[in-house]
Structure 1
Amino acid sequence: MAKLAKGTWIVVTDSEKALFMRNLTDLQDPNFEVTDTEQQDNPSDSAQSANRPGRMQDGGMNQRSALDDTDWHELAKDRFAKDLSDLLYKAAHKGLFDKLVIVASPQVLGVLRDDMHVEVTSKIVAEIPKTLTNHPVHEIEQIVKHALEA
């Protein structure tokens, strides 16, 4: 059974952007159609932080240490992956795809694996640990083709 059959969904994502594509042909000559995109506006951590990090009294006289502040930028990246997981669950539940190829950075793949419902994971035919969100579609087609042929 071909991993990249006609109608297979390909999701190319990083921690801030996702491309949803459908293969219109087969593995021999893939032709991906972009069906949707998701993008998160995620400013730098300093732009999202309201205050400077707190300080606490150390054991010694007049000694204080800075406390680590919440990294809002990283939290937003994790939240994006979890939101993507929810989107994929809703699409799988509606029967919008039978096969799924996920192309994502290893970190994002890890978050997705931890958060994806079995209804989605049962449809995954391949995971490709690469960041390709800024590549043109014709390059993504060839990279996915070569990864699945290996």
Structure 2
Amino acid sequence: MTHLKLAPGAWVVVGDGQKALFLTNEGDEKFPNLRRLSVELHDDPPTHEQGSDAPGRTYSSIGTGRSAVEETDWHEVEKERFAASIAERINKGAQSAAFKQLVVVAPPKILGDLRREFTKETGTKILAEIPKDLTHHTIAEIERLLTAE
């Protein structure tokens, strides 16, 4: 990873489809000190526990052809909803000037979902977007990975 110079008060959001860790830099650019602001967890059962029926079928209006309709992946739908709620919280923070810099760390799919929901104001405050899943790392490891040269 690249060496990031996090300003005091910068936010670092580390998330995936089920967990989001909000951190703030209480140190300075030279010696960052990430502290937890909050953790948001989202209960997202597997699709087979959320779905209730077999995939649908369509029938051709001419002849005997028929085909299956792809089943909705409710697990992915919930991940997208969670990402939208996280983006909303970040957007509110940007609007209220809760931070001047933002680093977002998430798997590529979730990062794309977040990016779609960010406002222009939030976009101007993004220092880096890192396409990795670091939700299972400690805060010290995240700090080390973000600031390593």
Q: What TM-score, normalized by structure 2, do the two folds share?
A: 0.88
For 2:71, the equivalent position in structure 1 comes to 69
For 2:49, the equivalent position in structure 1 comes to 47
Task: Tell me by how many angstroms 1:72 deviates.
Answer: 0.9
State the SS of the aligned residue for 2:103: strand
Task: Tell me by how many angstroms 1:65 deviates.
Answer: 2.6
For 1:85, the equivalent position in structure 2 comes to 87
CA contact (8 A) 2:44 2:75 kept: yes
Task: Tell me by how many angstroms 1:60 deviates.
Answer: 4.8
For 1:121, the equivalent position in structure 2 comes to 123
Amino acid aligned to 2:45: P
Cα offsets for 1:89-138 (capped at 9, x unmatched): 11111221111111111111112222200111111111111110011111
Q: Which stretch shifts more, 20-29 or 36-45? A: 20-29
Amino acid aligned to 2:108: P
Amino acid aligned to 1:131: D
RMSD over equivalenced CA pairs, Å: 1.7
**Are residue 108 (structure 1) and residue 74 (structure 2) matched?**
no
**Partners of 2:93 and 2:37 in 1: CA distance:** 13
For 1:26, the equivalent position in structure 2 comes to 28
**Partners of 1:138 and 1:32 in 2: CA distance:** 8
**Partners of 1:9 and 1:98 in 2: CA distance:** 8
Q: Give the total of aligned pairs.
A: 145
Task: Tell me by how many angstroms 1:37 deviates.
Answer: 1.0
Q: 1:39 to 1:132 in 2, by over 3 A?
A: same
Task: Tell me by how many angstroms 1:32 deviates.
Answer: 0.9
**Partners of 2:58 and 2:109 in 1: CA distance:** 33
Task: Tell me by how many angstroms 1:27 deviates.
Answer: 3.9
CA contact (8 A) 1:3 1:126 kept: no
Q: Which runs of 5+ in 1 are unaligned?
A: none
**Partners of 1:121 and 1:98 in 2: CA distance:** 11
Q: Which runs of 4+ in 1 moved over 3 A?
A: 58-61
Q: Which runs of 5+ in 2 are unaligned?
A: none
For 2:98, the equivalent position in structure 1 comes to 96
Q: What TM-score, normalized by structure 1, do the two folds share?
A: 0.88
